[in-house]
Chains A and B, each alone.
Chain A
Amino acid sequence: MAIEVGNVFPEVQLKYIPYDETNPDTCAAPQILNTKTDFAGKKVVVVGVPGAFTPTCSSQHLPVFVAKASELKAKGVDLIVCVSGNDFFVMSAWGKSMGVKNSIIMAGDANGDLGRTTGLALDLAKVGLGSARLTRFAAVIDNGKVAHLAIEPDPSSVTVTGADNIIAAL
C-alpha cells in the first residue's frame, strides 16, 4: 500500500547534518527534519535512493539533482531532500563527496520510518543492504500533499525518477 498522488505526505522525523559553510569539513550537530512541519507551505522535492555510495545512486541519480538544483529552485522548489535508509552521518559524508553544499538536504531514514509510512520501503537484505531501505523514487510535495510521484520500476536504473523528469513535472 504505497503512497499516491493526492495523499498527504506522512509526518516522519528524519535526521541530517546541516552544511556549515564556515567549516565545511567538520561534522556539524545533527538536526531533525520533520516532513510535516518543515514542509508546510513549501514545494519540496524528495528523492529516495536505495543506498549512499552505491554505483547507480552515485553515478546516475544524485549528480543530476546536484547539477540541476538551481533549475529546480528557479521553478519554485523551496527544498530538495535526498533520503535513504543509511544513517545521517553516512548521508552527510556522501553529500560532501558528491559536492553537495546547501542545495540538497541529505537526510537519513535509518529507523525505516519513511519507508514504512509511505509504503516505499525496499528489502535489500539479500544483497547485504539490510531490510529497511527505500526504493528509488522522486516526489513533489506541495504544501504537504503529494503532487507528483515517480517510482522507479527497476530500482537499479534511473528513468522516471531522474532530475529532468521531475523538472518537467513541476
Chain B
Amino acid sequence: MTIKVGDVFPEAVLSYIPYDPSNPDACGLPQLINTRDAFKGKKVVLFAVPGAFTPTCSEQHMPGYIQHIDELKRKGADIVACVASNDQFVMDAWGKSYKVKDEIMMLSDANGELGSALGLVNDGTAKRMGPIRLARFALIVDDLKVVYLGVEPARGVTVSGAEAVLAKL
C-alpha cells in the first residue's frame, strides 16, 4: 500500500541533529521530530535516498538539491528535508560533508517507520546494506497533503531530483 498524490502524509517520528551555528563542527544533540507536528501548515519538499555516502546519492541526488536550495525556498518550500534509513549521526556527518547548515534538514528514519508508512521501503540485505532502506523518491507535502510524488523507477535521478520538484512547485 504505497502513498499516492492526494493522501495525507503519515505521522512518523524521525531523528536529526540540528545545526548549531555557535558550534558548527561539533556533534550536536539528536532531536526527535514528529512529521505531523513539524509539517502541519507548511509546504515541505522531502527527498529520500537509499544511503548516505553512496555513489548515486552523493554524486547525483544530494548535489542537485544543494544547488537549487534557494530556488526551492523562493518557490514556496518552507522546509527542504533529506531522509534516509541511516542514523542521525551519519546523516549529520553526510550533510556536513557538503557544508549543509540548516537549509536542508538531514533526517534519519533508522527504524524505517516513515518508509513503511509510505510503502517505500526496500530490503537491502542482498547487497549487505541491511534490511531497511528507503526507495529513492521525492515528495511535495502541502499542509500534510501529498501533492507530488516522484518515485525513481530505476538507477539514476529523474523524477526524484530537485529539477523535477521545482517544476511542480
Contacts and interface: CB of A to CB of B under 8 A. Distances in A.
A, B: real partners: yes
Interface of A: 13-15, 27, 30, 51-55, 58, 85-90, 92-94, 97, 108, 110-112, 125, 127-130, 132
Given A30-B128, A108-B128, A130-B111, 5 more contacts: A53-B27, A54-B27, A128-B111, A129-B89, A130-B110
Contacts of A110: 124-125, 128-130
Interface string B56-93: 00000000000000000000000000000011111011
B87 A130 contact: yes
Interface stretch (B36-44, B46-54, B140-148, B154-162): B46-54
Contact of A27 (B55, B108, B111): B55
Nearest to B13: A128
A66 to B, nearest CB: 17
A128 B129 contact: no
7 interchain residue pairs of minimum CB distance: A110-B130, A128-B15, A93-B53, A53-B93, A53-B89, A15-B128, A89-B53
A108 B90 CA distance: 13
Nearest to B85: A130
A55 B90 contact: no
Contacts of B110: 125, 128-130
Interface string B17-37: 000000000010010100000
A138 B58 CA distance: 32
A87 B128 contact: yes
A142 B88 CA distance: 36
B114 interface: no
